[in-house]
């Protein structure tokens, strides 16, 4: 039997279109708002068609020296060109990119996961540095 941790894939986002890319400031002040952007397909666009799309992105924060992460949010993408006329006929196609803002009093790791309906689960992480 497999474990869920074994299902997550990673790669360099500059050559793989499925990796969630986390963008955040190099360093932030304690208890100030931090803007975090996560997108899939930053360097190489993901198709985001009815047949091949990103269904969701989840974002977590793991403070340094903590055992468990905080769930920041889950963002679902529902419009992939499907309509009553058939696949890829709708004028609406979602782009898998989210922006969220949070406040933290400590340094830690931002973790992102995403799900492609064809290529499965992907993950990446970035360090959030907080100065005192």
Query: Which residues, other chains included, contact 14 with Cβ-Cβ below 8 Å and sequence gap of 6+?
Result: 43, 44
Q: Which of the residues 14, 29, 30, 52 is marked catalytic? A: 52
Q: Which of the residues 39, 46, 53, 80 is marked catalytic? A: 46
Catalytic residue status for 16: yes
Q: Do the beta carbons of residue 99 and residue 34 sit within 8 Å?
A: no
Q: Do the beta carbons of residue 130 and residue 28 sit within 8 Å?
A: yes
Q: Which of the residues 18, 39, 53, 80 is marked catalytic? A: 18
Closest CA to 125 of 114, 107, 108, 112: 112
Residues in a beta bridge with 9: 122
Catalytic residue status for 52: yes
Catalytic residue status for 80: no
Catalytic residue status for 46: yes
Q: Which of the residues 28, 53, 97, 116 is marked catalytic? A: 116
- Residues with catalytic roles: 16-18, 46, 52, 116, 119
């Amino acid at each position: 039997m497999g474990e869920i941790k074994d299902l997550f894939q990673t790669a360099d986002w500059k050559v793989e279109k499925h990796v969630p890319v986390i963008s955040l400031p190099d360093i932030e002040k304690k208890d100030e708002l931090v803007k975090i952007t996560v997108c899939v397909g930053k360097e190489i666009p993901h198709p985001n068609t009815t047949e091949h799309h990103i269904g969701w992105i989840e974002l977590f924060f793991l403070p340094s020296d903590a055992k468990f992460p905080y769930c920041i949010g889950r963002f679902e993408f529902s419009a992939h060109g499907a309509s009553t006329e058939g696949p890829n006929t709708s004028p609406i196609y979602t782009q898998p990119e989210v922006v969220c803002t949070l406040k933290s009093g400590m340094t830690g790791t931002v973790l992102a996961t995403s799900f492609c309906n064809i290529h499965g689960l992907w993950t990446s992480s970035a360090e959030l540095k907080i100065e005192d």
